[in-house]
A = this chain, B = another copy of it.
Amino acid sequence: MNIGEVATASGVSAKMVRYYETIGLIPQARRTEAGYRVYSPADMHMLRFIRRARDFGMPMERVRQLVALWRDEHRASRDVKALALRHVTELRERITELTAMADALQELADCCQGNSRPECPILRDMADPSTAA
């Protein structure tokens, strides 16, 4: 397969495939005489795997660790699980933060009449939180 085919098959854009190669996330592809990159089905699976990891919201560094475990026949599933759970924890922390933001802003909005007059508790609170409603 060449890069366009592996991109379509894996769901990773050709641009990103080249990028992953430059940052060393995937090994350098073999080349044809003309310089075209050549991929095996195994490469395609690896890219698909990476795509899945990204879909889980993992930062590249974590993806890198996970790919290393994936390729290591002698890994301990404990290590994979620990990595996964660490990510779940981070996701839940982020969710907590966003929820706090949304709730706080929702509460302010609930206090706002939302009419044609300028008086607005949202702006008032944001300008000076000490005057909380």
* Chain A residues with a Cβ under 8 A of chain B: 45, 48-49, 52-53, 55-57, 66, 69-70, 72-78, 80-82, 84-85, 87-88, 91-92, 94-95, 98-99, 101-102, 104-106, 108-109, 112-120, 122-123, 126-129
Chain B residue at smallest Cβ distance from A109: B84
Q: Report whether A105 and B88 are in contact in the complex, using a CB–CB cutoff of 8 Å.
A: yes
Measured in the bound complex, the distance between the Cα atoms of B73 and A6 in whole Å is 57
The list of the 10 closest CB pairs from A to B, nearest first, reads A77-B120, A81-B114, A91-B102, A81-B112, A76-B116, A52-B126, A78-B114, A84-B109, A80-B120, A57-B101
Question: With contacts A91-B98, A95-B95, A108-B84 known, is A113 near B57, CB below 8 A?
Answer: no
Contacts of A123 in B (CB 8 A): 66, 69-70, 80
Contact between chains at A76 and B112 (CB < 8 Å) = no
How many chain copies does the complex carry? 2
Indicate if the CB atoms of B87 and A122 lie closer than 8 Å: no
Known: A102-B92, A105-B84. A115 touches B76 (CB 8 A): yes
List the B side residues contacting A104 at CB < 8 Å.
Answer: 56
Can you list 30 pairs linking A and B with CB atoms under 8 Å apart?
Answer: A45-B127, A45-B128, A52-B126, A53-B126, A56-B101, A56-B105, A66-B123, A70-B127, A72-B118, A73-B118, A74-B118, A75-B118, A75-B120, A76-B115, A76-B117, A77-B119, A78-B115, A80-B120, A81-B109, A81-B114, A81-B120, A84-B105, A84-B122, A85-B106, A85-B109, A87-B105, A88-B109, A91-B102, A95-B99, A95-B102
